[in-house]
Amino acid sequence: MARRSRSYQRRQERRATIGRKEAGLSASEALEIADDLDLPDGAAYALAAEMAGLDQDEFFDQLATER
pLDDT of residue 18: 66
Measured at the CA of 25, the angle between CA 24 and CA 29, to 5 degrees, comes to 150
Calpha distance 4→11 (Å, rounded): 11
Nearest to 28 by CA among 46, 42, 43, 49: 49
Length of the chain: 67
Is residue 1, in this structure, part of any structural domain at all?
Answer: no
Count of domains forming the chain: 1
pTM, two decimals, is: 0.63
Residues 26, 59: Cα–Cα separation, whole Å: 9
On whether residue 14 sits in a domain, the answer given is yes
Q: Could you list the residue range(s) of the whole structural domain that residue 62 is in?
A: 6-66
For 13-60, write each residue's pLDDT tens digit. Answer: 777 766 666 567 888 988 888 888 888 989 999 988 888 888 899 999
